[in-house]
Amino acid sequence: MTERAQTPIIDCHHHVWAPTAETHPWLAPGANIPFRYGDYSAIKRDYRPEDYDRDASGFDVVGHVTMEGEWDPVDPVGETRWIAEVFARRPDYRAHVARAFLDRGDIGDQLAGHAEFLFVRGIRHKPTSAPSAAAIEIGAPGSLSDPNWQRGYRRLADHGLHFELQAPWWHIDELLELRAAVPETPVVINHMFMPGDRDPATLRGWREAITRAATDTGLTIKISGMGLPSQLWRLDDHRALIDHVLERFGPDRCMVASNFPVDRLTGSFATIIGGYQDALSDLTPAERAAVFHDTAARVYRLNTPLVAEGA
DSSP class of residue 33 equals -
Q: Residue 194: left (phi > 0), alpha (psi -120 to 50), or beta?
A: left
CA 301 – CA 288 distance, rounded (Å): 19
pLDDT, residue 7, reads 78
Torsion of CA 163, 168, 171, 177, to 10 degrees: 20
pLDDT, residue 219, reads 98
pLDDT, residue 4, reads 47
Residues ≥6 apart with Cβ < 8 Å to 214: 248, 249, 253
- What predicted TM-score, i.e. pTM, was given to this entire model? 0.95
Q: Is the dihedral of CA 253, 168, 209, 149 positive or negative?
A: negative
DSSP class of residue 17 equals B
CA 274 – CA 268 distance, rounded (Å): 9
Amino acid identity at 225: G
Contact 168, 202 (CB under 8 A): no
pLDDT, residue 6, reads 65
pLDDT along the chain (311 residues), means of 10: 65 97 95 94 97 97 98 97 97 97 98 98 98 96 98 98 98 98 98 95 97 98 95 96 98 98 98 97 95 97 56 32
Q: Is the dihedral of CA 268, 269, 272, 274 positive or negative?
A: negative
Q: What is the side-by-side strand order in the sheet with 61-67? A: 9-14, 61-67, 93-99, 120-124, 162-165, 187-189, 219-223, 254-256
| Cα Rg, the chain, nearest whole Å | 18
How far is the CA of 231 from the CAs of 197, 202, 227, 266, in angstroms?
A: 11, 18, 8, 7
DSSP 165-179: E---GGGHHHHHHHH
Q: Is residue 112 exposed (0-12), middle (13-18) or buried (19+ Cβ within 10 Å)? A: middle
CA 289 – CA 10 distance, rounded (Å): 10
CB atoms within 10 A of CB 183: 11
pLDDT, residue 306, reads 43
pLDDT, residue 298, reads 97
